[in-house]
């Protein structure tokens, strides 16, 4: 999944999409070209490169964001 676009669903109902550039055993994620998504999967806020703490990740998918 490295260097592929993913969608990560986070605690608190947040979903982010970006290119997975790194991860570790704690499921910390580094995403490039990241964007926060609304409920329909449309970008709300664009961030560039972000680090997502693994304890906040519910799931990671290569597909579209689930409602």
Q: What is the pLDDT of residues 23-47, one digit of tens each?
A: 999 999 999 999 999 999 999 999 9
Report angle CA 32, 48, 57 to the nearest 5 degrees: 60
Give the list of residues 6+ apart from residue 32 with CB closer than 8 angstroms, or none. Answer: 18, 19, 21, 48, 49
Domain 5-61 has CATH 2.30.30.100: yes
Supply the pLDDT for residue 64.
66
The pTM score is: 0.89
């Amino acid at each position: 999944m490295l260097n592929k676009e993913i969608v990560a669903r986070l605690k608190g109902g947040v979903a982010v999409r970006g290119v997975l550039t790194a991860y570790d055993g704690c499921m910390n994620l580094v995403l490039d070209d990241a964007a926060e998504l609304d409920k329909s999967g449309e970008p709300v806020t664009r961030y560039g490169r972000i680090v997502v703490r693994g304890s906040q990740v519910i799931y990671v998918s290569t597909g579209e964001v689930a409602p």
